Amino acid sequence: MKAAVYLGPEKIEIRDLPKPDCGPREMLIKVEACAICGTDVRIFYNGQKNVVPPTVTGHEIAGTIEQVGKDVSGYQEGSKAIVVTPVGCGRCKFCRAAAHNLCVDFKAIGYDFSGGFAEYVLINAQAVAQGNVIVAPDSLEFDEGSLIEPLSCCINGAEYLKTTLGDTAVIMGAGPIGCMHAELAKSYGATKVIIIDTVDERVDLAKQATNADVFINAAKTDPVGAVLEQTDGAGADVIITACSAAPAQQQALKMAAKRARISFFAGLPKDKPTIEFDSNLLHYREISVFGAFASHATDYVRAMALIVSRKIDARKLITKRIPLDSIVEGFETSRSGHGLKVVVQP
């Protein structure tokens, strides 16, 4: 099988590898689409501890079930399927609560285990037993299906925020994740969704890809002042930072309404993860700040329902489709911020 083998920072080779053998408790998925995630880009350029070369990255996977191990029941070869990324130990308290994303021995497909930038991906016995293969309806388009994983992560983050009818939601960062959060906030009932970015091109992309109501370029307009103006001085009820920028987190705290919920959805760079803020803002205004990391299987099921029904139109978020051979070009495009989601079709 053809695979993009990651050999270390900025080194990747398209190689012909043997098609993986499917053990009795394993499953083999034929990858039809694997979208490029921000973390795939980071791994390609900088490496990551839990990604040991040579290996295959890619975790936003949609495909067909090629082979079902003889001891696995409940699946049919030929079905469309998507793959859940986190693989938990199954024994810690988080796994027992089905929150494999918080497992004390967290592992993941496309990181610790070989991933989807290849013609086939083998789902190991632990992942199969945990239910990491989710059968998709025949109506699922594979390229759209590859966006279920990132949307599931947005749902995981958004669930803490309890966005409801009449809320004003601010999304900081107009990348694919920011656009998904904007669409989700609408689904949850937010009446006014405001997208903020610092680059005109990205603001324009978000205008085309989302149903958000207000777009602000924070390089030209003070975003805190603009949000206060949009909310008659009250501030936003929900704020999501979908960009790895400390100033965005600080601004989020300043533009928050009383009882606002904030998601620091994107992490900050490892070498500079600290921010400073007025703690009394949180105290007197009863503001809550939440984190979010990856997602669990329930989030995938809900993301799949949103994408299959086109309540969230994944087609608007995909701006490039490439063959496996062009994967480096895909990483470059994703990093440049020109366009939204890039989908690899192996």
Which residues contribute to the site for Zn ion (CB under 5 A)?
Answer: 37, 88-89, 92, 95, 103, 150
Cβ distance to Zn ion smaller for residue 51 or 203: 51
Residue 156: name the closest of 308, 313, 300, 312 by CA: 300
**Are 255 and 221 contacting, i.e. CB atoms less than 8 angstroms apart?**
no
**CA pair distance 279, 288, nearest whole angstrom:** 11
Q: Give me the least distance between CB of 161 and Zn ion, in Å please.
A: 20
Instruction: Tell the smallest beta-carbon distance from residue 106 to Zn ion (Å).
Output: 7
Closer residue to Zn ion (CB): 215 or 265: 265
Is residue 288 classed as helix, strand or coil in its secondary structure?
strand
Min separation Cβ 269 and Zn ion, Å: 18
In the bound state with Zn ion, the residue whose beta carbon lies nearer, of 109 and 253, is 109
Nearer to Zn ion, 68 or 147 (CB): 147
* 32 versus 237: smaller Cβ distance to Zn ion: 32
Q: Kindly state the smallest distance separating residue 234's Cβ from Zn ion, in Å.
A: 34
Taking the C-alpha atoms of residue 190 and residue 165, their distance in angstroms, rounded to an integer, is 5
- Nearer residue to Zn ion within complex by CB, 34 or 194: 34
Nearest to Zn ion of 174, 216 (CB atom): 174
Cβ partners under 8 Å of residue 303, min gap 6: 148, 149, 151, 152, 154, 155
- Measured from the CB of residue 91, what is the shortest distance to Zn ion in angstroms? 6
Distance CA 142, CA 57 (A): 18
* 3-state secondary structure at position 28: strand
CA distances from residue 251 to 220, 257, 341 in whole angstroms, order as listed: 15, 12, 26
Torsion angles phi and psi, residue 193, rounded to 5: -115, 125
CB of 37 to Zn ion, least distance (A): 3
Work out whether strand 133-135 and strand 80-83 pair parallel, antiparallel, or are unpaired. Answer: antiparallel
Please name the amino acid found at residue 141: E
Smallest distance from Zn ion to CB 153, Å: 6
